[in-house]
Structure 1
């Protein structure tokens, strides 16, 4: 059963779920696009190259939540953008990425291509799975989780893809989104960049304390 699901059952579920989601959520997608246009102007969509299955790059789609111009994330993130991110409505265009086969409904979140060279051999196993909209790390705490914990969860998921795990991840991610928890990492507007050296220093500091 598990092998059947990993080989082609998961993809069938992805196509059916993404297609149905785009159809049912089309009014919400249209309303969100209009809100972005009115609050932030054009472009409505944010596009960025991310690492897909096997580390192969693809263009991730999101509704734009930051204004253009200089400054870090905290400076460019507007009150509207914060609400958009908290609701996760900015992620809905990724249903197209799922439909096109670049992403899955469930899997490790797609991260920047530059991170591929920073992973340990163990962490790089996350690239064995197609990146997803929802995931086990998102269900466990979203951006509030430290990088090492998130990447280990992703690696374990990629090693054993199961229908039951995917269903739990979808339900858990939905609960996290409804609660509003984990929108950003503590002390950050979004999520800090993955830096193995800083992560190691943080762990050493916590041991001392």
Structure 2
């Protein structure tokens, strides 16, 4: 399926779910689908948990504080994909060196993301929305980039089906903001469908030379302060 990549336009209509009915409908859909998927994928969740415990030991899950709606922190859940391996100096090895073969497989197949369905059921995440990044990035955003927190973050999003981690930070933010300005339920359904295709193709999982993507260092002069 051909997918036209669109950029953010500050003059686009205000599509963000900004009234109670829209938010309620999106929330009901999120909860219903996530709950059903948790039941369907429960054997896979158990098998992955058992595999991690067998080959990597405990803990099974990776938990990290991430910024949610309006930048409020929540605990994001993933399956653990790396070991805590240290240099002789006592410093933690880079992500690329700590990523295990099992962890690499889980990332390539996006199985490491399955526990985030629990975050959706809890209301921390939506199925679709800008991906929640690191808390340390919050002070680095421009005024426009910070608008990505005007909505509940998601497991997948417009940026994920248009390059995922294999695009620049600048492009990723453009796509996030385009989604916010043009949101509608049909767009969410389209993103969910295309996400399935991306997962099957294992496309854009990481940038070359990185376990996932290079760190965000701040906005460029293109963005408004």
TM-score normalised by structure 1 residue count: 0.90
- Gapped runs of 5+ residues in structure 2? 1-14, 87-92
Q: Offset at 1:160?
A: 3.3
Alignment RMSD, CA only?
1.9
Match of 2:126 in 1: 104
Moved more, 116-125 or 153-162: 153-162
- Larger relative CO (CA 8 A, sep 6+): 1 or 2? 2
SS of 2:210's partner is coil
TM (norm. structure 2) is: 0.84
Q: Secondary structure in 1 aligned to 2:159?
A: helix
Mapped pair 1:20 → 2:42: no
| 8 A Cα contact 1:67 1:78, kept in partner | yes
Report the CA distance between 1:158 and its aligned residue: 2.1
- The match for 2:154 among 120, 124, 132 is 132
Identify the range of structure 1 (29-38 vs 153-162) with the bigger mean alpha-carbon deviation.
153-162
- CA shift, 1:37, in A, is 0.7
1:62 paired with 2:84, answer: no
Cα-to-partner distance string for 1:74-99 (whole Å, 9 max, x where unaligned): 11001111111000000000000000
Q: For 1:43 and 1:171, how far apart are their aligned partners in 2?
A: 32
Higher helix share: 1
Count of aligned pairs between the two proteins: 200
Corresponding residue of 2:67:
51
Confirm whether residue 85 of structure 1 aligns to residue 107 of structure 2: yes
The whole-number CA distance in structure 1 between the counterparts of 2:216 and 2:132 is: 13
